[in-house]
Amino acid sequence: MRELKGWLKWVVSFCLVAVAVFHLYTAIFGVFQPRIQRGIHLMVLLPMAFILFPASKTKSPTDRPSVLDVVLAILAILPPLYLMLMDAKLNLRYELIDPVTPLQTILGLINIILLIEAVRRVVVPAMAILISLFLVYLVTAPFLGGIFYSKPMALSRMVEILYLFTSEGIYGSIIGVTATLVAVFVIFGAFMQNTKTGEYFTNLAVSLAGRSIGGPAKIAVISSGLFGSISGVAAANVYATGVFTIPLMKRLGYRKQFAGAVESAASTGGLIMPPIMGAGAFVMSEITGIAYVHIIKAAVIGAIFYYLSILIKVHFEAKKENLRGMDESEIISTKQVLKDSYQLIPLIILVIFLVIGYSPFMAAVYGILATFLVTFLKRDTWMTPKKLYETFELSGKNLIMLAVTCAGAGMVISIVTYTGLALGIASVIQSWSGGFLLPALMLIMVTSILMGMGMPCTPAYIVAVTIGGPALQALGIDVLTAHLFVFYFAILAEVTPPVSIASYCGAAIAGSDPLKTGWEALRLALVGFIIPYIFVYNPAFLMRGNFLEIMALCIIVFYAVITMASSMRGYFNRILKVWERLVLGALTVAMIIIACQPKIMHSYTVDIALIISAAVILVFVVLAKLKKKVLSPA
């Protein structure tokens, strides 16, 4: 991002503050008509992509936009401005029946081209290429065969579905949720970031885990989980918390590759951590029509086990390498952490308002208000007018990426919907899988990961679920389960080599090999690849079922997480032999298979939990006895 100077810096700053204030205003007093709300959103943020983000990292000026950038920024204002001015007339037209005027076609083409270029600059070239490929498909579909065939569509109609519609396309429902719900939570996140809440998360993690064996890595896991849910971007989370945790891990003996991997895996998991879950949960709520609070409730157990698995692996690694915790002098006192715990009040208020039935909109507004008020409890965190201005400016900057990515994803949804490609792919998946659920799930997992490689999680999820969602639902999986399944793998692409963006960021800080760090992060995050299969086969993992069924399932998964960590790290109460690791691995697989059998779990809930508990305890007792034999003199 450019560091502007002079009068342009203040003009851009004012625009960013204005768009953030606009979103907060509409959250409190009500949103405008779709084209107005979404038009203002993109009319400000799309030009900012050209002013603040250079076309080339090496050739473009870094402190000012080029002449071309200014021209593109001015052009970017025109398409949304037209939609807002003509809103009343556009509301009266019949979609796909009334003709598209030449002016609308020209403005639509300008909007499409500029949006692809903005995605290339702000996000990654991979996403811009993906959108371009879908556009090429839209043009060439009439000449293709099989599932890829689609009826010919005139250029004006192509522009219509991508530019003029408010259900899909650039100004469709996806950008709609970004310009309303997501924007308010981005502002909430900026308020928490600028009031040292992120720093408090780190201090809290240091106080909780710093003294324990492998303390620095556990600090990374806890702080990244807390901060990542708010930040919504895995790479940003890695840089926000990793600059502290990764050097600390290296200093206390962790391999640099492992240090980068821990931070990467933990930061990525923040996107599945309630209550905020990045922006994905809001988009999921908009697409599915399922209440936001039901989505975060369903995601709780999976998120807990994801982080628990990383913590246990980190602990075993520390024991195996005999790594100590932090020195007492480096740890902030518990008294000070408790004294600063008021910084958690906004998050607590947010959760309370969500639980008691307030809309996410109003819950976020009250959270922002609480964040503003609690800053006055301590002199060095006061939200002064200058800091308030900077917070709104940060909110505007954070909205740029979300705006262009979700608008781009909206184009893909429109193309997939109007060509029937999603239904075609669903039939192919059913055919290739032979109608069996497991092969179909694996195919959709691969598709979701491929869609997520190099893309932010929200657009990756949107594109993946547009393609894979119908296939899952055709196999009898309910809407929420299908969407969460795709959501998990779109996120886990961040730590899946070869294009594991979060791992590359962690490796950059750690000074390690990016690919090796990526594979290490994948091993740490492995439970995340198993969780979606469990909740597809057993809905109790999504808190659907009676208390005993949910608890029995959690007990089994808990044991599976321990045995998996022990098998993978090669340590329990000592360094394990190969055959011992294989036994623990086999036990893990057996428990996962049982966890995926809801009928058996329902019929023998308590019995299975007790039998597995006894089996795991027996294995660990045997390992303990073998340790004594190893240590005893010959």
Cα maximum dimension of the chain:
92
* Residues 287, 167: Cα–Cα separation, whole Å: 11
Is 90 exceeded by the pLDDT of residue 241? no
* Residues 550, 542: Cα–Cα separation, whole Å: 9
Percent of the chain with pLDDT over 70: 97
* Residues 123, 382: Cα–Cα separation, whole Å: 34
Query: Which of 23-32, 437-446, 466-475 shows the lowest per-residue confidence on average (mean pLDDT)?
Result: 466-475
Average pLDDT, the chain: 88
Query: Which of 267-271, 328-332, 393-397 shows the lowest per-residue confidence on average (mean pLDDT)?
Result: 328-332
Q: What are phi and psi of 154, to 5 degrees?
A: -65, 155
Most confident region among 391-400, 455-464, 466-475 by mean pLDDT: 391-400
pLDDT at 308: 94
pLDDT at 234: 76
Quickly count: other Cβ atoms within 10 Å of residue 411's Cβ.
Answer: 27
Is 70 exceeded by the pLDDT of residue 291? yes
Are 403 and 175 contacting, i.e. CB atoms less than 8 angstroms apart? yes
What mean pLDDT do residues 163-171 have? 91
Is 80 exceeded by the pLDDT of residue 169? yes
Q: Is 208 exposed, middle or buried (0-12, 13-18, 19+ CB in 10 A)?
A: middle
Percent of the chain with pLDDT over 90: 43
Is 70 exceeded by the pLDDT of residue 187? yes
pLDDT category of residue 399 using cuts at 50, 70 and 90: very high
| Residues 431-451 pLDDT 10s | 888 878 899 999 999 988 887
* Residues 473, 295: Cα–Cα separation, whole Å: 17
What mean pLDDT do residues 346-367 have? 87
pLDDT category of residue 485 using cuts at 50, 70 and 90: very high
Say which residue, 514 or 78, is predicted with more confidence.
78
What mean pLDDT do residues 411-418 have? 90
pLDDT at 631: 52
* Residues 150, 137: Cα–Cα separation, whole Å: 10
What mean pLDDT do residues 348-368 have? 87
* Residues 442, 529: Cα–Cα separation, whole Å: 11
Q: Is 104 exposed, middle or buried (0-12, 13-18, 19+ CB in 10 A)?
A: buried
- Is there a cis peptide before residue 275, judged by omega within 30 degrees of 0? yes
pLDDT category of residue 286 using cuts at 50, 70 and 90: confident
116 contacts: CB under 8 Å, gap ≥ 6: 128, 131, 132, 408
pLDDT category of residue 629 using cuts at 50, 70 and 90: low
pLDDT category of residue 634 using cuts at 50, 70 and 90: very low
Is 70 exceeded by the pLDDT of residue 627? no
Say which residue, 381 or 259, is predicted with more confidence.
259
pLDDT category of residue 242 using cuts at 50, 70 and 90: confident
Quickly count: other Cβ atoms within 10 Å of residue 112's Cβ.
Answer: 23
| Residues 551-575 pLDDT 10s | 989 999 999 999 999 999 888 878 8
Q: Which of 71, 84, 80 shows the shortest CA–CA distance to 404? A: 80
Are 180 and 402 contacting, i.e. CB atoms less than 8 angstroms apart? no
